[in-house]
Amino acid sequence: MFATLAQPFPLGATLCDHGCNFSLHNPDNKNIKLVLFNDNQSPRLISLDNQYGDIRYTFVEGIAEGQVYGYQLEDKDGLRLLLDPYAQALNATPHYVEPFTAEQSWEFAKSVVVKHDFDWQGTTLPQIPREETLLLETHVKGFTKRHPEIDPALRGTYLGLCQPEMIAFFKEHGITTLQLLPVTSCMSEPHLLKMNKVNFWGYNSLCFMAPEPRYALHDAVTEMKTMVRELHRHGIEVIMDIVFNHTAEGGEGGPIFHFKRLDKHYYLQDGNKHYRNYTGCGNTVDLTYQPSLNIVLDTLRHWVTYYKIDGFRFDLASTLGREGDRFNTNSAFFKAVAQDPVLKQIKLIAEPWDVGPDGYQLGGFPRGWNECNDKYRDTVKSYWLCKENNTKEFATRIMGSRDLFSAGKWPDKLPVNFISYHDGFTLQDLVSYNQKHNHANGENNRDGHGDNRSYNHGMEGKTTNFAVLYRRERQKRNLMATLLFSFGMPHILAVDLLSHTQGGNNNAYCQDNAISWADWAINKDHDEFRHWLATLIAARKEIMVPFIRAFSGPKRGNHRISWKRSDGHVMNGEDWQKIEAFALFLGLRKDGAEMMFLINHSTIPTRFRLPAGERWRIVCDTSEGTHTTRQVQTTYMQSAQSMTILYRDECQTETRT
């Protein structure tokens, strides 16, 4: 009777009232067997008697949620146990002692049968418009591990991230969307295991559909869903950073977990059948191969359907459109997502590069994809911290990088602007270090990016020098004011809200310790910065969002924009080559609200002449550590190396410029 219940699709382990269907894409191993593990009993071996193409499958009566399983095959070193690539949970945190042998595979983490019943308690998706979205890049463990007000048992967990203290913090700072560093199951690289370290960031995928067990007290599936539900209850979206460009199996000689033995064609190979390493991690997933494309699409639908995930940030996303040595914006993956009734409704954010040929693709992703804008990062840091006179490039970036992302396609093609990311210096370290200090990583400071575009303001690292500290805080305000009032979707690194320092480590991927864990014991200056930033984020929502909407789409030409010298005259071509103090004027319609950016890159104060009319409200002046309620009318003295944002709404203005 139960043989009739056996089906080739869906792949993985699928429960019903009578038992469980097990299905596996496996063209290379005829004698593979399903292994069921039960407490205090010998493993039960079951043949996969049914076949459909390259899929082998069977139905097993009486299987329930929580059943532990794997797949056995004959290896040159003996019998090896493989994970199910479609495993939706693991029974333990993956770990092994180098080298990963066939014998060790039986002691490794195993696949678990999952039933996705969960009470969502009527919560709904926040569905934040892109122009209102404020991304906070957050590590589930790192952000709460040292939080003094959270139950110690919950710190560093999925449940810790949705405690009332954290919800209040996110709401206070106007955060609309958490972008979580990878929460899919991960395996640390062999070189880290040899040094007794872990891949803290999680960019080394093991099973795409299984939540990372490290962040759970008991049940990662239920606890991650609870986290999403509680964040949604308070209107906060959850975006997953997900890694499909490579897997933890690495390149030649790397460990075997599943794909390598089930089907060698999952990965890009050269003519000699060697793995092409276009990711810097040993292998590259080949999305032109149907089974690879299938598991990626099935994984995305899995997270959206069962976990209510609001979107994804794709690591090294050029790989998704890679056809061998070339990138194709019309690749099968992009077309499949665009027509998928589930996936086309969510946020899709690309890191638009990998390390292979034709890999840098900023601006090259299809409509509906937002892209991490590294040109914005480099330009803004160079302008404020490296004293580069790149005014024209700076102006282009704050206006939404329209050389790369046409405003006619906004808001769905708004760039994702950022100053700091998980890889690179934190905001505090950007203004405190000239050089990277990655010695704790065990690679003799050779790892990590050398092009940081940072400035220590006279002293490397920690200092009590008041003048240095003042300059650092001012530059932090310059960077964040620029970010929040540029056209785009701002991305903030969560620990930057706390002015967290990593001691100059710009590649803390293996630091599961105080280097990476957010420091909540902040000093007076950093607490002032936190409150200043929260106020500015609120001002962005009030003021900047309507301007982004207005300057997007077909009616963007109905509004006013001009670039002016400090004397009030419009800038000419020569000004763009040498000017150090200039203003950006923006106006809605013929007589709507207006904004001005007064930007002084020079080392001396500069007086700006303002357009005639009613008083301007000072949104922020980055030379000041607190916000003001002052208003100005005809001129404004801008301090050296700082900027001010002015605003007046339409009901205040009588005369227009």
CA distance to 314, 555, 565, per residue, from 644 (Å): 35, 28, 15
Cβ–Cβ under 8 Å, residues 298 and 86: yes
Cα–Cα distance, 194 to 185 (Å, whole number): 20
Closest by Cα among 332, 365, 353 to 278: 353
Burial class (CB in 10 A: 0-12, 13-18, 19+), 320: buried
What torsion do the CA atoms of 268, 273, 274, 275 make, to the nearest 10 degrees?
A: 20
Residue 316, classed as helix, strand or coil, is: coil
Question: Residue 594: what are its φ and ψ, rounded to 5°?
Answer: -135, 150
Closest by Cα among 15, 5, 60 to 36: 60
Cα–Cα distance, 337 to 344 (Å, whole number): 6
* β partners of residue 491: 135, 418
Q: How would DSSP label each residue in 488-536?
A: SEEEEEGGGGGT---TT-S--TT--STTTS------HHHHHHHHHHHHH
Closest by Cα among 100, 77, 3 to 46: 3
CA distance to 48, 315, 368, per residue, from 309 (Å): 33, 17, 17
Residue located via tokens 């690495």: 250
Q: Which amino acid is at 150?
A: I
The set of residues, in sequence order, having a beta carbon less than 8 Å from that of 560 and lying 6+ positions away, is 585, 586, 587, 588, 590, 594
Residue 73 token pair = 């095959």
Cα–Cα distance, 147 to 155 (Å, whole number): 7
CA distance to 13, 45, 130, 138, 562, per residue, from 67 (Å): 10, 14, 41, 32, 65
Other CB atoms within 10 Å distance of the CB of residue 169? 21
Query: Which residues are known catalytic residues?
Result: 315, 351
> Distance between the two ends of the chain, CA-based, in angstroms?
82
Question: Residue 205: what are its φ and ψ, rounded to 5°?
Answer: -60, 140
User: Taking each helix axis from N to C terminus, what angle separates 290-307 and 220-233, rounded to the nearest 10 degrees?
Assistant: 60
Cα-based angle 494, 342, 86 (whole degrees, multiple of 5): 80
Cα–Cα distance, 610 to 607 (Å, whole number): 10
Cα–Cα distance, 447 to 439 (Å, whole number): 9
Cα–Cα distance, 260 to 435 (Å, whole number): 40
* β partners of residue 81: 72
Cβ–Cβ under 8 Å, residues 299 and 229: no
Q: How would DSSP label each residue in 593-641?
A: -EEEEEEE-SSS-EEEEPPSSSPEEEEEETTSSS----EE-SEEEEPTT
The three-state (H, E, C) secondary structure of 17-43, written as one string = CCEEEEEEECCCCCCCEEEEECCCCCC
Residue 115 token pair = 């039933």
